[in-house]
Each structure stands twice: as structure tokens, then as C-alpha cells.
């Protein structure tokens, strides 16, 4: 695991927050290089599907195979994003935290994905601060 990549995901989350959105960021890495990055744009784009991981994969574009890639996300991926991970054969996910939202860790693991939760204080604080200020936006994001 490379903390620089999680730092990039956190930078994406902060960019999303500065745009009035939900502070979740993601980067896709292969061979030690970032090949895609993104952040949750549900609010900014008015699109319920634009979670951070989906934005990241869209921004990576058509890369052929996802063999050897690792997806970093500031928050444990939800079932939507975990489905994309499984569908494209991404075999490793590094999540910043899963206290705020447990996500779909077991689902990914049951499909052969290695999932590492680094339990980052910075990632947890980013989400806790956001949820305190905008609980209704967070509840909308997680389908509550």
C-alpha cells in the first residue's frame, strides 16, 4: 500500500467538498502510477450514479484490462461501486475507513477481491465533519 495514493484520494475528496459535494475520493493505480482519479459528484452533476469510484473509473477511460490495478477510496465502497470492482476484475481495494459506512466489504471479498481498511483518522474526520453539517445529503447518498 502506498500512502501517497490515499493522499491523492483524500485530495479528490476535499475537491468534492469544495465544490459543494460529498467528500469521498478515489484513485485507480497500476504499476505504481495513477491511471484515474475522481470524487463523488452526485450533487454537482445531479447524477445519483456518480459516486467517487464510478467517477474515477470513468476518468480512467477504456484501459482494456484491470489486471494488476488497485482501487483506493477514502470510504469503503458501497454495493454500486463494489459491483463495478467485481465486474471489471479489480482484485485489490484499499479503503480509507469503514466506520462511517461499512460498505460492501464482504461482497467484494466473496468475489476474490482483497480489501484492506486502513482506518484513517483523516478519512473518518472528513466524513464525520460533513455528516454533522449536512446529514440530509449524506442520507440521500446512502439511500436512507
Which residue carries 459491483 as its cell? 83
Residues assigned a catalytic role: 53
24 φ, ψ to 5°?
Answer: -130, 130
H or E segment and range at residue 39: strand 33-39
> Using an 8 Å Cβ cutoff, are 106 and 42 in contact?
no
Q: What is the DSSP letter of 96?
A: S
Residue 46 cell numbers, joined: 445531479
CA nearest neighbour of 41 among 68, 14, 21, 60: 21
Cα separation, 127 vs 86, in Å, equals 25
Beta bridge partners of 70: 29, 92
Amino acid at each position: 500500500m502506498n500512502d501517497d495514493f490515499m493522499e491523492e484520494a483524500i485530495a479528490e475528496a476535499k475537491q468534492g467538498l469544495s465544490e459543494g459535494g460529498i467528500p469521498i475520493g478515489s484513485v485507480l493505480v497500476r504499476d505504481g502510477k495513477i491511471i484515474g482519479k475522481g470524487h463523488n459528484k452526485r450533487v454537482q452533476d445531479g447524477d445519483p450514479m456518480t459516486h467517487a469510484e464510478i467517477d474515477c473509473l470513468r476518468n480512467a477511460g477504456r484501459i482494456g484490462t484491470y489486471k494488476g490495478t488497485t482501487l483506493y477510496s477514502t470510504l469503503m465502497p458501497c454495493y454500486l461501486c463494489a459491483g463495478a470492482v467485481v465486474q471489471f476484475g479489480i482484485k485489490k481495494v484499499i479503503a480509507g475507513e469503514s466506520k462511517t459506512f461499512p460498505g460492501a466489504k464482504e461482497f467484494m471479498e466473496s468475489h476474490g477481491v482483497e480489501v484492506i481498511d486502513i482506518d484513517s483518522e483523516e478519512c473518518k474526520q472528513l466524513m464525520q465533519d460533513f455528516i454533522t453539517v449536512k446529514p440530509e445529503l449524506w442520507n440521500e447518498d446512502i439511500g436512507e
